[in-house]
Amino acid sequence: MKFSENWLRTFVNPGLSSAELAHRLTMAGLEVEALEPVAPPFEGVVVGEVMALEKHPDADRLQVCRINVGAESLLQVVCGAANVHVGARVPCAQVGAQLPGIAIKRAKVRGVESSGMLCSAKELGLAEEADGLLLLPADAPIGADIRAYLDLDDALFTLKLTPNRSDCLSLAGVAREVSAIAAASLAMPEIGAAVAAIGDTFPVAVAEPAACPRYCGRVVRGIAPAAPTPVWMLRRLERSGLRSISAVVDVTNYVMLELGQPMHAFDLHSLAGGITVRFARPQEQLKLLNEQTATLDADMLVIADADKALALAGIMGGLDSAVSDGTRDIFLESAFFSPDAITGRARRLGLSTDSCYRFERGVDFAATREAMERATALILEICGGAAGPIVEVSGELPRREPIPLRVARASRVLGIALDAAQVEAHLRRLQLGFAWSEDCCFVIPPSYRFDLSIEVDLIEELARLYGYDNIPATPPRASLTILEQPESRRRTGELKAALAGRDYQEIISYSFVNEAWERDFAGNDHPLALENPIASHMSVMRSTLMGGLVEALRYNLNRRQERVRLFEFGCCFLGGSGGEVGAQPMRAAGLCYGAAKPDQWGEAQRPVDFYDVKADVEALCWPRVPRFTAAQHPALHPGQSAQIWLDDQPVGWIGTLHPTWQQKYDLPASPVLFELELAALLECPVPAYVEVSKFPPVRRDIAVVVDEASVVQTLLDGLREASPSTVIELDLFDVYRGQGIDPGKKSLAFRVLMQDTRKTLTDAEVDEAIAQLTQILTTRFNAKLRT
């Protein structure tokens, strides 16, 4: 809702500055989204009349003008505007004037003295572009200050209203609010009944009274269609964001802005038989004012005559019955349409109008006739003509039931002390009717306040008028107990911090995903389908987080991000036996793409690989040690994927994206992904005391030759299971194939670290432990010591 501050102040004029008024409105729930001046600051510009013109002696496109600004002598101004002519009244900036970015001084232009400047709308800051001077009406007072004449000392308010405050989609509604919050007197326009100078009427019938409980129509004959719209009305319409069309249409738009009641005018001679408010017939068509031919649905309400549909009720009129330059007689319409009959119809046709915006949220059904009288008076004043009596058809209008308001409950909910006198004063400022019964007040909401229906609505109104700034911030008082935190369970935040510390960034993706993602990344041919998906590419529930990570990678690659490390913690949805939702496990997943490390001078660049991400997974599982076994996953490369195990339980997957999906999703290279069950990651062994040895450790290396098919993890598991108690660490540090090793074989080198907490190990003890490990390798895994 955009409007002129000066127009608002004709209704209510509180002693507040523009900024103070904007703050009070915002704090009362009517957010002021923008407050901007109509024109930038300037001074020294007056109305001047061009009295004479002479061609500049040294320039073909310049003219020397004699300007009357109401002074004793004429000003000489050199001007190059194409539209300057004798008798034109234009803004004239005198010597010493300050324009936006320009200081006017006496100067010589091609040798001719110029004492000022004739201005365009652009030079005054009123428009971004201008073809010539700003031509003023012929009756503009010579010498008058242009700011006062054009009413430029004004500001434009733009309200960002919530859908429930449809009453403030008009100047009258905003004025009522300002009057209430500022305790200022309200002066609404006086609207009297127009004199019915003729007896002409046009028949009206309402076939759908539930959709249109009230319809008013009036014939006005003998108007002057070419009558100019008054400057004051044009200015108010323009500053509210509406362009001028014709005097009759401008009046209907003006009444809509002033009173909040959308209206429409039909060319009377284009109507046949009578007006009927009905639903559209199947496949009925209507050519709208925007020249769009709409095919109407059966639940779309139309205004029709005996032959055809004339207008889409509450949304837009039809082109065939529109008021034109030759219209002399009109049928003026003012109606109340139920919001349920209008909501959503315009969007189906790709339309958005000021009229449907108001009807969808609710229009004051008690002001329908008042708006008709206001529009009639303005049309008669501007266009002339004679009006007939109002034809009104009324059905069952919305009922406004009394709402009980308990003072004690209002005080308790708001946390402030209110008495009956204060409540009554606030209700009077809101112009609400009420009656007391003991300690309860029964409030009758007015017809324009659709948002008032229950007691808490009224309590909110009391809070707004009391002032949210005035409500004390009282901290709650309660006994706080520190909850127990099990030592055997970690918090999700710790895992996220661990990944963030390893250069990952968190994403949050939708649980609704593309059906193709489920087939590609989960091998799920029967995903859980949504009955009412919000979009065709979000039609099923995800059973893996990998699809969202790959999509986020594509998004980043399209924005030239060459190194991407992402993770997500989210819920997955598994199908049950009957097609219903089964288990809903929480999972943690990650993705790495690009260089293993950021660009640096000290280390050569290399792409991230399986083992980089494996290290990240091991860090995430710490202090437990995960195991990785080669296995195949639908989303992962068959030779570069593994299943992750913790405590002999499978908890997830790790691997490089399958080349097929790399090609399908247009990725320059395959990322490395992992996905783990979050519940397993959150489990943590309780810390146990271990004595720190004071004695030096002893390191020995064992190098053996094994079959190429031997799995290193199996060897490590066997060694760790049967290793002596003195062995504290046992890891693989080298794999070799090549000269000196037979084909089909590989060399594995293990690092063995031994230490005792009671004494220094002797060579004999160390040799015995190494011999025991070597025996395990040779007997269980058919390994041979490498010589």
164-205, pLDDT tens digit by residue? 999 999 999 999 999 999 989 999 988 988 888 999 999 999
* Model pLDDT, residue 478: 82
| Nearest C-alpha neighbor of 116 from the set 90, 88, 150 | 90
Closest among 268, 264, 253, 255 to 220, alpha carbons compared: 268
- What's the average model confidence in pLDDT over 758-786? 93
Q: Is the pLDDT assigned to residue 319 strictly greater than 90?
A: yes
Half-sphere exposure (Cβ direction) of 550: Cα atoms closer than 13 Å: 31
Q: Which domains does the chain have, with CATH numbers?
A: 2-38+155-182 (3.30.56.10), 43-149 (2.40.50.140), 204-394 (3.50.40.10), 403-470 (3.30.56.10), 492-682 (3.30.930.10), 698-785 (3.30.70.380)
Measuring CA to CA, how many Å separate 445 from each of 425, 457, 463, 472?
Answer: 16, 10, 17, 29
Pairing of strands 649-657, 204-206: unpaired
Confidence of residue 731 (pLDDT cuts 50, 70, 90): very high
DSSP letter at 166 equals G
Task: State the burial class of residue 418 (Cβ atoms within 10 Å of its Cβ: 0-12, 13-18, 19+).
Answer: middle
Rounded Cα distance between 783 and 787, Å, is 12
Output the six-digit token pair for 540: 């099923």
Rounded to an integer, the average pLDDT of 519-546 is 91
Question: Does the pLDDT of residue 286 top 80, yes or no?
Answer: yes
When pLDDT is cut at 50, 70 and 90, the band that residue 347 belongs to is: very high
Name residue 574's amino acid.
L
Q: How many CB atoms lie under 10 A from the CB of residue 85?
A: 14
Query: Residue 8, SS3?
Result: helix
Whether residue 500 is predicted with pLDDT greater than 70 in this model: the reply is yes
Q: Output the furthest CA–CA distance in the chain (Å, rounded).
A: 127
Question: What's the pLDDT score for residue 579?
Answer: 64
Q: Which token pair is 601?
A: 């001078």
Q: ∠ CA 522-524-525 to the nearest 5 degrees? A: 150
Position 488 scores a pLDDT of: 83
pLDDT score recorded for residue 189: 87
Nearest to 673 by CA among 656, 652, 651, 650: 656
Pull the structure tokens for residue 328: 């002399």
Residue 256 tokens, joined: 């809509």
CB atoms within 10 A of CB 242: 18
Q: Is 95 exposed, middle or buried (0-12, 13-18, 19+ CB in 10 A)?
A: middle
Q: Give yes or no for residue 577 having a pLDDT over 70.
A: no
CB atoms within 10 A of CB 232: 10
Q: Calculate the alpha carbon distances from 95 to 46, 76, 104, 107, 476 in Å.
A: 11, 11, 5, 9, 66
Q: What is the pLDDT of residues 65-123, one digit of tens each?
A: 999 999 889 999 999 999 999 999 999 999 999 998 889 999 889 889 999 999 999 99
Residue among 753, 761, 697 nearest 729 (CA):
753
Does the structure show a pLDDT above 90 at 596? yes
Half-sphere exposure of 431 (CA within 13 A, CB side): 17
Report the candidate in 128, 119, 175, 104 with the shortest Cα–Cα distance to residue 150: 119
pLDDT tens for 641-688 read: 999 999 889 999 999 999 999 999 999 999 999 999 999 999 988 888
- Compute the mean pLDDT over every residue in the chain, rounded to the nearest whole number: 92
For residue 103, give every residue at least 6 positions away whose Cβ sits within 8 Å of its Cβ, in sequence order, or none. Answer: 97
The per-residue pLDDT for 469 is 87
Place of tokens 């129509």: 217
Residues 309, 284 contacting (CB under 8 angstroms)? yes
> Does 417 have pLDDT greater than 70?
yes
C-alpha span between 286 and 80 (Å, rounded) = 50
Those residues with Cβ within 8 angstroms of residue 693's Cβ, 6 or more apart along the chain or in another chain: 755, 756, 757
Residue pair 506/549 in contact by the 8 Å Cβ criterion = no
Measure CA 171 to chain center: 26
| Cβ–Cβ < 8 Å for 398, 209 | no
- Report pLDDT digits (tens) over 447-461: 999 999 999 999 999
In the numeric block, the tokens 């004999």 are attached to 764
For 783, the token pair is 């390994």
Q: Is the pLDDT of residue 288 over 70?
A: yes
